[in-house]
Amino acid sequence: MHLTLVGLSHKTAPVEIREKLTFPANRQEDALARLTASDAVSEAVIVSTCNRTEIYAVTADGHDGPGAIIDFAADYHDLDRHELVRYLYISEGDAVVKHLFRVVASLDSMVLGEAQILGQVKEAYEHAFSAGATGRIFNKLFRQSFEVGKRVRTETEIGENAVSISYAAVELAKRVFDNLQGRCVMILGAGKMSELTAKNLVGAGVTRTLVANRTYERAVELAERFNGEAVPYGDLFERMREADIVISSTAATEYVITKDKVSDVVHKRRDPLFLIDIALPRDIDPACGDISDVFLYNIDDLNGVVSANLEERMREAERAEVIIGEEMREFEAWLESMAVVPTVAAIRAKAEAMRAEEFEKAMKRLGGLSEKELKTVELMSQAIVNKMLHGPTERLKKVSGDKYGIGYIEAARYLYGLDSNPEGKSPHGGLLKGLLKRGEKHTASAPAASGGNEMGDSVGC
């Protein structure tokens, strides 16, 4: 049996391809049923987001596991197999474990350190578990991967520093104001980045939103998304007095906010005024930054924060890789305990211990036997144990590589009482040759993905 992964992501496929290979929640049960109906696949989990589709499987010996998964994906979505392969990456063995752990740790995300992907993988696993598509291997692997994600979030600071423009704006706002609770934000213009920045500010505690736009209807539309208030463009500076934070992103070719106007606004207020200019060309006169109690940041300032924070996340990513290495070794040790050879050895060792104990008891009761007679009785007891175990252990070895071989091994361990707990959390062992013997990763040559913005806010898809 082997661990197998076939997938594509924002790194290998443009959005036009990614959108063709998706498995929404309402189709997962059907897709998993069709996939595991194959003799080649005994367990499966499908992770499907806007930035990646990955099919994880436990595949059987004697079958082309990756080929079976590719055939399934192409057939299920009526895609040309040869065209699809260009965008896929394939991993087998321990490379699958490492990839999954890196995914849930957000080391493989478009935005390093984002938190959404852990929840998305959990949801994918829950779909597979509910559909009966997972067994002992994936129940253990995916549950451990969630612990990896938690460890990385708690033991490193990989998610602590903003690495998108809109989150950087929030971070800077927190430096200007001790507390964003109860603050008011004004959006000037209706650009996507302004909207995202306002959304994140509201999420950080800002409670009032004002929207001004040359097209009043557009201002009304955007204000409704934040339960805010649309402001007629002519009332811009009058209402700006109420705002603590102003985000400007218009298509104007000249400064929309000038030093004179801002001086007028600040003169009639007590608190600082935070101006965020994310327009190109700029909306806000740089001279506004010279006014006392006015804090002005433009797109370059925000990018500088993002770059510095991304470097910090990269350093934290190195610590995350150490955690992943530790967790991989633990999973490999658990797999070793599930292998057929150590299982057979454990069965024989337990039977031998019981035989020896009973032989000693019998000898104490009998007494007076000669050395030759003692040897004869002991050899007889050994022969009985060996003959009793020979058939079951040989059959166990024979079926271990079949599609449901791990199930037979699990049943044997249960029947002989070899596991100390039902989850099989054995702390000892090495490398299971069946599932992890091939740790290579194959990546198809693919055209560069388009439309990806590493500083964007659609981080978890």
- 152-161 residue pLDDT tens: 999 998 877 6
> 3-class DSSP state for residue 162?
coil
According to DSSP H, which parts of 55-212 are helical? 65-76, 81-85, 94-104, 116-130, 136-155, 165-176, 192-203
* Residues 6+ positions from 213 with CB-CB distance below 8 Å: 188, 189, 190, 219, 222, 230, 233
Given the structure tokens 């390093």, which residue do they identify? Answer: 112
Q: Is the pLDDT of residue 394 over 60?
A: yes
Mean pLDDT on 420-434:
39
More confident position, 134 or 336: 134
Q: Report d(CA 203, CA 91) in Å as an integer.
A: 38
Mean pLDDT on 402-417:
77
What percent of the chain clears pLDDT 90, i.e. is strictly above it?
Answer: 54
Note the pLDDT tens digit of each residue in 158-187: 877 656 677 788 888 888 888 899 999 999
Q: Is the pLDDT of residue 429 over 50?
A: no
pLDDT computed for residue 458 by the predictor: 43
pLDDT band at 436 (very low <50, low <70, confident <90, very high): low
Q: Report d(CA 434, CA 383) in Å as an integer.
A: 31
Note the pLDDT tens digit of each residue in 184-205: 999 998 777 778 888 888 888 9
Q: Report d(CA 24, CA 443) in Å as an integer.
A: 25
Beta bridge partners of 52: 9
Note the pLDDT tens digit of each residue in 98-154: 999 999 998 988 777 778 899 999 999 999 999 999 998 999 999 999 999 999 999
- Given a contact cutoff of 8 angstroms between Cβ atoms, the answer to whether 253 and 281 are in contact is yes
pLDDT computed for residue 149 by the predictor: 94
pLDDT computed for residue 461 by the predictor: 58
Average pLDDT, the chain: 85
Mean pLDDT check: name the lowest of 193-202, 338-347, 416-425: 416-425
- Given a contact cutoff of 8 angstroms between Cβ atoms, the answer to whether 248 and 276 are in contact is yes
* Residues 6+ positions from 431 with CB-CB distance below 8 Å: 94, 332, 335, 336, 437
Q: Is the pLDDT of residue 387 over 80?
A: yes
Give the phi and the psi of residue 454 in degrees, each rounded to 5: -65, -15
CB atoms within 10 A of CB 308: 13
Among residues 454, 457, 453, 449, the alpha carbon closest in space to that of 52 is found at 449
Mean pLDDT on 404-411:
75
pLDDT computed for residue 163 by the predictor: 66
Mean pLDDT on 245-253:
89
Is 50 one of the catalytic residues? yes
Q: Is the pLDDT of residue 455 over 50?
A: no
Given the structure tokens 């898809």, which residue do they identify? Answer: 461
The CA dihedral of 428, 430, 433, 435, to the nearest 10 degrees, is 60
pLDDT computed for residue 444 by the predictor: 52
Q: Is the pLDDT of residue 453 over 50?
A: no
pLDDT computed for residue 457 by the predictor: 42
- Report field, pTM of the whole predicted structure over 0.85: no
pLDDT computed for residue 57 by the predictor: 97
- Given a contact cutoff of 8 angstroms between Cβ atoms, the answer to whether 351 and 386 are in contact is no
Mean pLDDT on 287-296:
95
pLDDT band at 404 (very low <50, low <70, confident <90, very high): low
169-198 residues labelled b (16+ CB within 10 A) or e (exposed): bbbbbeebbeebeebbbbbbbbbebbbbbb
Q: Is the pLDDT of residue 69 over 90?
A: yes
Mean pLDDT check: name the lowest of 24-33, 96-105, 277-286, 442-451: 442-451
pLDDT computed for residue 402 by the predictor: 62
Mean pLDDT check: name the lowest of 58-62, 189-193, 296-300: 189-193
More confident position, 410 or 429: 410
Among residues 256, 297, 250, the alpha carbon closest in space to that of 273 is found at 297
Q: Report d(CA 292, CA 273) in Å as an integer.
A: 9
261-292 residues labelled b (16+ CB within 10 A) or e (exposed): bbeebbeeeeeebbbbbbbeebbbbeebbebe
